[in-house]
Amino acid sequence: MSYLTIDEVFCDHLRGLLETVELRDTSGKLLGHFTPFVSAEEQAMYEKAKTLFDPAEVERRLREEAGKGAPLQEVLRRIQSKEIPR
């Protein structure tokens, strides 16, 4: 079997994929398929994580907590003084 070596930029696009994806050029022509190797153990961990993560809840929290953060200097001061945020 022959192979191609791809650069880090392209690798970054492929990292984290769990399912087969089509690779197409800029005109839409199919070049091939990329099938990531994911062990059964890794797949089970991803499936468990999906049950623990609710995208709608994340969006709700982002909306509710928008603008309620503290400046970095304040956070660092609290950490250094071991102050518990209220």
Q: What is the pLDDT of residue 38?
A: 81
Contact 24, 49 (CB under 8 A): no
Which residue ranges of the chain lie beneath pLDDT 70? 83-86
End-to-end CA distance of the chain: 60
Contact 58, 72 (CB under 8 A): no
Predicted model pTM: 0.45
Which tokens hold the place of 8?
A: 């880090």
Q: Where are the domains of the chain?
A: 8-80
| 3-class state of residue 6 by DSSP | coil
Q: What is the pLDDT of residue 8?
A: 92
